[in-house]
Amino acid sequence: MNAPLAADTTPRNDWTREEIAALFALPFPELMFRAMTVHRRNFVSTEVQISTLLSIKTGGCPEDCAYCPQAAQYDTGVKAEKLMDVQAVLADAAKAKAAGASRFCMGAAWRSPKDKDLDAVCAMIEGVKAMGLESCVTLGMLTGPQANRLKDAGLDYYNHNLDTSPEYYPHIISTRIFTDRLETLENVRQAGLSVCCGGIVGMGESAQDRTGMIHALATLPSHPQSVPINALVQVEGTPAARATPLDPIDFVRTIAVARITMPASVVRLSAGRESMSAETQALSFLAGANSIFYGEKLLTTPNPQTDADKALFARLGLTSMPAKSASTNP
């Protein structure tokens, strides 16, 4: 495929699977050149948005996501805890800001939040915003009124991943269906929140499934403002941990195709960096990744040490993206 590059920067929602499969099949140098061109036309190519994650409600989740250490039914050593106290969350947010994060993301191991849980979550969002940080939460499935409540509390982003292709979804999760995810995303968009939505690779899915996942993301009614691409963190006790790890070049290809198909979105090199070489991460940044999770823990699993990330940024000449250009929130 050798279509002209000129059209590559205008966001399109009419990508076909064939077009996306053809991008994945490009010779690696050609794919990278296209991704780098699109990246430069939309962003400062050396700037990376920095988010820090905190698990505000850990473990004991009733869902059966095959990748997740927090699902109650897998024996992973993660202990179920109750929702954290608001002040403790805000103390962690202050530390994240001092360390250089521009966004604070709070995750809860819920299928969906109860209305009474949202009182505390709204207080957390208000506190995080008052510190001058962007806020993001991921709480599971949301109703329209719940999304509106979060918006009223000042929330910037809601994270809700499609995770994989519609076809592979039932092999990974049986306690909800793909269209449940689409419904929550619609509620989030209707509330005027920015959407953070991506997926996981390395779960034993096929190349066609990676095409299907990017296709599902790039043909949403509007592109998610933030697109996390997670490399599976293999956690013993979860069914997905038995999968053969993905070839790092195929991981980089997934980032590049996300960059080309969703040109104005911030693409996050998300979970999985702890077991990734500096070279794979560098290729991911070249392919157009321009966000990371920074801080020594993701939700329950390790992330690179902050000193190691500082050293990597210095080696690559990368700097952190100022909060304003990272946010497309109205």
Residues that bind ligand DTB (CB under 6 A): 53, 69, 107, 138, 159, 161, 198, 228, 230, 233, 270-271, 298-301
Q: Does 161 bind ligand SAM (CB under 6 A)?
A: yes
The amino acid occupying position 41 is R
State the minimum distance, in angstroms, from the CB of residue 225 to ligand DTB: 14
State the minimum distance, in angstroms, from the CB of residue 267 to ligand SAM: 15
Q: Does 200 bind ligand SAM (CB under 6 A)?
A: yes
- Using CB distances below 5 to 8 A depending on partner kind, what does residue 300 bind out of ligand SAM, ligand DTB, ligand SF4, none? ligand DTB
State the minimum distance, in angstroms, from the CB of residue 36 to ligand SAM: 26
Structure tokens at 111: 């299928």
Neighbours of 32 (CB within 10 A): 19
Q: DSSP letters of 176-236?
A: S-HHHHHHHHHHHHHTTPEEE--EEE-SS--HHHHHHHHHHHHTSSS--SEEEEEEP---T
Has 197 been annotated as catalytic? no
DSSP-assigned beta bridge partners for residue 41: none
Cβ atoms 57, 83 nearer than 8 A: yes
- Judged by CB under 6 A, the chain residues 1 through 40 that form the site for ligand SAM are none
State the minimum distance, in angstroms, from the CB of residue 56 to ligand SF4: 12
Q: Does 295 bind ligand SAM (CB under 6 A)?
A: no
**Looking at 42, 164, 230, 261, which residue binds ligand SAM (CB under 6 A)?**
230
Nearest residue to 163 via CA among 150, 175, 153: 175
Helix (H) or strand (E) holding 87: helix 86-99
**Catalytically active residues, by annotation:** 61, 65, 68, 105, 136, 196, 268
